[in-house]
Amino acid sequence: MRARVLSSATPAFRSLRLSPYRTSPWICYACHARSTRNRQFSTPHTPEQKPFYITTPIFYVNAAPHVGHLYTMVLTDILKRWRQLKGETALLCTGTDEHGLKVQRASAKAGIEPKLFCDKGATIFKELAQKALISNDHFVRTTDREHKDAVEYAWFLLKEKGYIYTEKHEGWYSVTDEAFYPQSAVRPYLDPPTGRKIMTSIETGSEVEWSSETNYHFRLSAFRDRLLEFYKYQPEWILPASRMKDVVQAVEGGLEDLSISRPTERLTWGIRVPEDDTQTIYVWLDALMNYTTKAGYPWAPGREQAGGWPADCHVIGKDIIRFHCIYWPAFLMALGLPLPRKILTHAHWTLGGSKMSKSTGRVVDPFLALERFGPDVMRCYLAHDGGIRDDANYDNIRIIALYDKFLNASLGNLASRVTRGKKWSIRGAVERIGPWKVEDWGDGSGSRFYHNTLLTMPTLVAESLDAFDARKALHHITDFVRRSNQFVQLSSPWDKILSFGPGEPGEEVDKTIYLASEALRMTGILLQPYMPNKAQMLLDQLGVDVSRRTFEYCKPGSDLDYGVPMIDLGTKYEGALFPPLPSEE
């Protein structure tokens, strides 16, 4: 990047003290442009309200995505949609990590120029997000110009503050993990297929190679006490709690300064160190800055929170905790930026008991899974079975069982029973019963269902989702649907229809249908983050107005204007919410 000179009055640089040797300070084009625009107006800028900002990690483009990547996307999207359901402005950022030795070698092996190789990989991940109904607002690529500007600007600040220095570095480097490991973190290993004796990372099992070179280093060791103090006062910063304990123990054991560059002669594919073309910026420093890039960093005065920073939640896999929970907060502290408010770490998906891995080829193709089961069913399965603390084993039989037992036989059956009843009307039941007669039911099954289930379920779901536990929330919903089905079955309204009074099956039947309809309406509202298309279909079948599909209306009696279907209900099998799966034979 060519250096440009700004006036010392430029807001972004007003407080910086330049080193004596620096005659042409590096300037961020994006920051300069925003600062220039701001100076054109004399009216003071009113800071915008911060939106809820949630992120996935950015994914390597060196190989095709697997179902583990899909799980991370879906989990993040559910939490984002939940905030929108509550009426909040929410932003989701995902994207691709396109620099580093791993990508450089993969593109060389494929015989493709690195940028074209990355373009292809980014397109695949974008397509996956689209097919999985991910409502991402941003898709960041580390090859984007605005991202490069942000990384170079951060480097400039870190160097000016004295957190970067040069020194010869010797240690073990993993191309797979794009990480340096000390001697204590590696061990010898005999590779069974080849009989080769290699060194591997104890943490990840990835092969490491000895590296000896002069690099730039970040003074990570200087942040040990500040990190421990932060962890002490933010004990729930990392979820689940067990991983928070692991991070604290790792930092208490001491931190070594971090090598944050590699010689260009070995790593050409990446962002060059400003004013030193002989070095390339360490891929993890580059990658971690993506979270601030799409939040508008470097920020113009008054707009520090307009893009959502600090992030309300980073959703990551448990294998990249060290980078996000030690390196990343240290970088942010050094830059003087607020730290993310939550780090949600999830477990892995296994296949036949072994971790899915692109390097071993032991993966589930997410595109094939989405094509076979559909995005709504896959999202439901991943949220229902996906592990946060413990790994989960991917199994098509489990997906089919969830579909047959819950989606078809429970939720689909309840929707079909209630909406397709020939001798009762949802609209009639809502008009004739409503909440005003429910309170007069005494101690019958309808009253118990109303007070013990309808009134309590939304709070249980909200508490779980507010605690970033999408799985627990979904289990509350599935339990609610089963209990609703049981209530209808025990009430057997089909046996209590009055033979006289056409169009009015009787108060007892109306009560049952009203409560069952309320259960379906509330279920449809709460399933929107999990199954956007199917939830919309259910609410359309019930005739719920689009403006009344937020969490505000997720309580019995809050909507008395629904009951006329907006779409053709079809037959038992055609047009059903969850028709029986086709036979595999």
57 and 138 belong to one structural domain: yes
Which CATH number fits the domain that encloses residue 134? 3.40.50.620
Confirm if 534 and 527 have CB atoms less than 8 A apart: yes
505 and 363 within one domain: no
Among the candidates 372, 387, 420, a domain finishes at 372
Enumerate the β-bridge partners of residue 357. 362
HSE toward the beta carbon, residue 256, CA cutoff 13 A: 12
Mean confidence (pLDDT) of the chain: 88
* Domain annotation covers residue 230: no
Instruction: List CB contacts of 420: < 8 A, sequence separation 6 or more.
Output: 569, 572
574 lies in some domain:
no
In this structure, are 423 and 543 located in the same domain?
yes
Same domain membership, residue 346 and residue 415: no
Secondary structure element (H or E) that encloses residue 218, with its range: strand 207-218
> Would 319 be classed as within a structural domain?
yes
Which pLDDT belongs to residue 171? Answer: 74
The rounded distance, in Å, linking the Cα atoms of 245 and 248 is 5
Does 405 lie in the same domain as 316? no
Prior bond of 310 cis (ω within 30°): yes
From 339, 372, 405, the end of a domain falls on: 372
Overall residue count recorded for the chain in this entry? 585
- Cα torsion 57, 63, 66, 70: sign: positive
Q: How many other C-beta atoms are found inside a 10 Å radius of the C-beta of residue 12?
A: 19
- pLDDT of 444 reads 78
How far apart, in Å, are the Cα atoms of 393 and each of 56, 359, 398? 21, 19, 9
Torsion angles phi and psi, residue 526, rounded to 5: -75, -20
Q: Which helix (H) or strand (E) holds 208?
A: strand 207-218
* Whether residue 368 sits in one domain with residue 400: no
- H helix runs in 433-497, sequence order: 434-438, 445-449, 457-466, 470-491
- Residue pair 100/151 in contact (Cβ under 8 Å)? The answer is no
77 and 529 in contact (C-beta within 8 Å)? Answer: yes
Tell me whether residue 339 is in a domain.
yes
| Structural domain count of the chain | 2
Asked whether residue 340 falls in the same domain as residue 401, the answer is: no
> Is the same domain home to 545 and 469?
yes
From CA 367, how far away is CA 132, in angstroms rounded? 9
Q: Are 506 and 491 in contact (CB under 8 A)?
A: no
Residue 104 domain-assigned? yes
Cα–Cα distance for residue pair 158/288, rounded to 1 Å: 15
Judgement on whether residues 409 and 367 belong to the same structural domain of the protein: no
What are the residues whose beta carbons fall under 8 Å from the beta carbon of 53, sequence distance 6 or more? 90, 91, 93, 295, 307, 308, 309, 310, 311, 312
Range of 416's domain?
396-553
pLDDT digits (tens, 9 = 90+) for 36-63: 333 333 334 445 689 999 999 999 999 8
Task: Please report the pLDDT score of residue 47 as a whole number.
Answer: 52
Backbone φ and ψ for 432, nearest 5 degrees, come out as -85, -30
pLDDT tens digits along 252-290: 999 999 999 999 998 999 999 999 999 999 999 999 999
Q: Find residue 138's DSSP bridge partners.
A: 93
Give the Cα separation of 534 and 157 in Å (integer).
Answer: 49
The answer as to whether 118 is a domain residue is: yes
For the chain, what is the largest distance between any 2 Cα atoms, rounded to a whole number of angstroms?
A: 97
Task: Say which range, 76-80, 106-110, 270-274, has the weakest mean pLDDT.
Answer: 106-110
Decide if 381 is inside a domain.
no
Query: Do residues 373 and 135 make contact, with C-beta atoms less than 8 angstroms apart?
Result: no
Q: Look at residue 320 in the predicted model and tell me its pLDDT.
A: 95
For residues 486 and 354, state if they share a domain: no
Tens of pLDDT, residues 520-574: 999 999 999 999 999 999 999 999 999 999 999 999 999 999 999 999 887 666 7
335 shares its domain with 454: no
Domain contains 567: no
Whether residues 322 and 408 share a domain: the answer is no
Q: Give the CATH number of the domain where residue 534 resides.
A: 1.10.730.10
pLDDT at 393: 95
